[in-house]
Amino acid sequence: MMKQGSGLPGTPKAEFGLTRRNLLAGAAGFAGVAMAPGGIFSVARAADGFIEITAGPGQYKLYKEDAAASDLWLYNGGLPGPEIRVRRGERVKVRLINALEEGTSIHWHGVRIDNAMDGVSGLTQDPVPPGGTFEYDFVAPDAGTYWYHAHNKSWNQVGRGLYGPLIVEEEEPVFDRDHDLMLIMDDWRLNDDGRLDTESFGMLMDWAHGGRLGNWLTVNGKSNPSFSLKAGEPYRIRLVNASNARILELDPDSIGGQVIGYDGQVLTAAEQTTTEALVIGPAQRVDLLVVPETGRDLALVEVSTSQRFTFAEFKVSGEGKGNPPAQLPQANTIPSPDLANAKRVVLDMTGGAMGRMGPMRYKGRELTQDDIRATGQVWAFNGIANLDEEPLFDAARGETVLLETVNNTAWPHAIHLHGHHFRIVSADGSLGPWRDTFLIGREETVKVAFQADNPGKWLLHCHMLEHAAAGMTTWIRVT
Ligand SMILES: [Cu+2]
């Protein structure tokens, strides 16, 4: 596969740890809650079969137990929101109830979904107003690791906690619930008292640089949780990066195992993880097959900064020899791109701090330098900041699109296409694994190909949520 971003040039190196607590952060750790794998969240259904998810404000402790609680926005009062788990081909029915003081909607990240259910405020639906409800009802066509999150002012709403896990199981799951762990990782900017720094949301400085980077990582909303694993038994560990902007680089030796899937799509053969970091950009997922060894505890360790930062532990108990499953989960069937007959589209990314900023159009007019501070628009796709009346391109249903993204900025980005999965096209023309979000380093060009087989209006944007808000958002139309 393409080296998706290991040591991406331009990756910011914001350190972890609260300023006065750096010494406590790594070594001492926090007791955390010992969690049984799987089944830690339960979700109730209403009489009509809908799962009810209320988005609303809540108090939540992100840091150690005796630290102050943060003002977050949560789904059903939890972090993450309730786990939704269905089988491939089943319907997902969710009633969103908006108890926030601003409009919201839910996007089902990575699901090749009916366009009307994609949940993008301002493109596929109006935001659900405060006090309002919206019913999502769609088929989950592919098994895999997905997540859902707010898609209105995402930089603020996701950044305050509005996200949750969505797991679509195979018809015959290879791993039972005790051996199937969903770990949603998130990067938070905390104040010295351990509370979320809410005052810095929307800072133009973040929007024009690497996005909102934090100083603390949680897993499933917990600081340094500890999981219990049994030696010799195979586990599927589903890793999701819910960070606003942080590209996570995990030490592969500390977690062990092999990659068996990216962005929800399982591979046909497990990939041995190399000594390079396991790089997971914002919104990306990696599924691992881990078979713990006797006497060797495992951990999630972030290595992109100058200090190794351990943020989850796996206590391995019992005796057992490696016993991998006889087979991997059955892969999904996604229509392959036809490169010989592809429509080629170039996406030129410009703007941001230390970058070239040519003329930029926003809402149909040319932006002046003075406008930039007023609108917060500092990035552009092909010279246009944010959603325009017209799509980036039209594709006929079934047509293959070869999207060539040229990063003429000084920053890395994580580009997400809605409604489709694509494959990265290497220089030699070979195709990488299926993905729905790709990383691109500064001055880098990445080509992806997909068959535009899902009709509708689909967002194409940077999943560094500040970048998306600051201009790195466009849309495509499949007719
Ligand atoms: Cu970006």
Would you give the DSSP letter of residue 429? S
Q: Which residues pair with 188 in a beta bridge?
A: 216
CA of 222 to the centre of ligand 1 (A): 27
In Å, what is the CA distance from 176 to each residue of 26, 143, 172, 181?
33, 15, 10, 10
CA of 8 to the centre of ligand 1 (A): 13
CA of 80 to the centre of ligand 1 (A): 24
Looking up tokens 């019913």, which residue turns up? Answer: 135
Question: What are the tens digits of pLDDT across the range 97-130?
Answer: 999 999 999 999 999 999 999 999 999 999 999 9
DSSP for 173-218 reads -SS-GGGEEEEEEEEE-B-TTSSB--TTTT-HHHHHTT----SEEE
Is the pLDDT at 466 greater than 80, yes or no? yes
In Å, what is the CA distance from 79 to each residue of 39, 55, 242, 395?
15, 11, 11, 38
CA of 115 to the centre of ligand 1 (A): 24
CA of 271 to the centre of ligand 1 (A): 28
Is the pLDDT at 38 greater than 50, yes or no? no
> CATH for 23-317, among 2.30.29.30, 3.40.50.150, 2.60.40.420, 2.60.40.10?
2.60.40.420
Question: What are the tens digits of pLDDT across the range 55-100?
Answer: 999 999 999 888 899 999 999 999 999 999 999 999 999 999 999 9
Q: Which residues pair with 91 in a beta bridge?
A: 139
In Å, what is the CA distance from 471 to each residue of 146, 158, 232, 405, 415?
25, 18, 49, 15, 13
CA of 413 to the centre of ligand 1 (A): 4
Strands (E), 51-155: 51-60, 70-75, 84-87, 91-98, 106-109, 133-139, 144-150
307 versus 401: the higher-pLDDT residue is 401
CA of 60 to the centre of ligand 1 (A): 28
CA of 132 to the centre of ligand 1 (A): 31
Nearest of 123, 107, 124 to residue 115 by alpha carbon = 124
CA of 12 to the centre of ligand 1 (A): 12
What contacts 10, CB < 8 A, 6 or more positions away?
A: 410, 411, 412, 441, 442
CA of 472 to the centre of ligand 1 (A): 7
Tokens of 104: 């919201």
Give me the pLDDT at residue 131, please. 98
Give me the pLDDT at residue 52, please. 97
What's the mean pLDDT in 375-393?
94
CA of 464 to the centre of ligand 1 (A): 5
In terms of Cβ atoms closer than 10 Å to its own Cβ (0-12, 13-18, 19+), residue 187 is buried
CA of 203 to the centre of ligand 1 (A): 15
CA of 358 to the centre of ligand 1 (A): 17
Is the pLDDT at 275 greater than 90, yes or no? no
Say how far residue 288 (Cα) sits from the centre of its chain. 16
Say how far residue 115 (Cα) sits from the centre of its chain. 20
C-alpha 4/C-alpha 262 separation (Å) is: 11
CA of 77 to the centre of ligand 1 (A): 30
Tokens of 216: 């603390």
Helix count and strand count (H, E) for the chain: 6, 34
CA of 249 to the centre of ligand 1 (A): 17
The residues of the chain that CATH labels 2.60.40.420 are 23-317, 339-478
CA of 53 to the centre of ligand 1 (A): 29
CA of 347 to the centre of ligand 1 (A): 13
- 3 state SS of 22: helix
Bridge-based pairing state of the strands 70-75 and 361-362: unpaired
Mean pLDDT of the chain, nearest integer: 90
CA of 109 to the centre of ligand 1 (A): 17
Q: How confident is the model at residue 15 (pLDDT cuts 50, 70, 90)?
A: confident
The topology (CATH level 3) of 339-478 is Immunoglobulin-like (2.60.40)
Would you give the DSSP letter of residue 389? S
CA of 407 to the centre of ligand 1 (A): 10
Give me the pLDDT at residue 315, please. 97
CA of 31 to the centre of ligand 1 (A): 35
CA of 284 to the centre of ligand 1 (A): 14
CA of 46 to the centre of ligand 1 (A): 39
CA of 412 to the centre of ligand 1 (A): 6
CA of 238 to the centre of ligand 1 (A): 24
Give me the pLDDT at residue 9, please. 52
Predicted structure pTM score: 0.93
Give me the pLDDT at residue 273, please. 72
CA of 463 to the centre of ligand 1 (A): 6
CA of 462 to the centre of ligand 1 (A): 5
C-alpha 144/C-alpha 97 separation (Å) is: 26
CA of 105 to the centre of ligand 1 (A): 22
Give me the pLDDT at residue 57, please. 97
Give me the pLDDT at residue 113, please. 97
CA of 258 to the centre of ligand 1 (A): 28
Bridge-based pairing state of the strands 437-440 and 473-478: unpaired
- Radius of gyration over alpha carbons of the chain, in Å? 21
Is the pLDDT at 144 greater than 90, yes or no? yes
Give me the pLDDT at residue 37, please. 39
Share of the chain above pLDDT 90, in %: 80
Strands (E), 243-391: 248-250, 258-262, 265-272, 278-280, 285-290, 298-302, 309-317, 342-351, 361-362, 365-366, 379-381, 384-385
246 versus 374: the higher-pLDDT residue is 246
CA of 438 to the centre of ligand 1 (A): 11
CA of 457 to the centre of ligand 1 (A): 21
